[in-house]
Amino acid sequence: MICRCSSGIWWYKRFITTLQRAYIDKGCNLKYATSIKNSLGYSLEDVANVIKKVCKVNNILVFDLYNNCDINTMEDCIRYIPDGLHPSKEYHEILDDKIYNYIIKL
Could you give phi then psi for residue 31, rounded to 5 degrees? -125, 145
* Per-residue pLDDT tens digits for 1-11: 444 445 544 44
Q: Label residues 67-98 b or e (16+ Cβ within 10 Å = b).
A: eebebeeeeebeebbeebeebeeebeeebeeb
* Per-residue pLDDT tens digits for 40-83: 998 888 888 988 898 888 888 888 888 888 877 778 878 888 88
According to DSSP, the residues that pair with 16 across neighbouring strands are 63
Per-residue HEC secondary structure of 12-41 comes to: ECEEECCCCCEEECCCCCEEECCCCCCCCC
Q: Tell me, yes or no, if the pTM score tops 0.85.
A: no
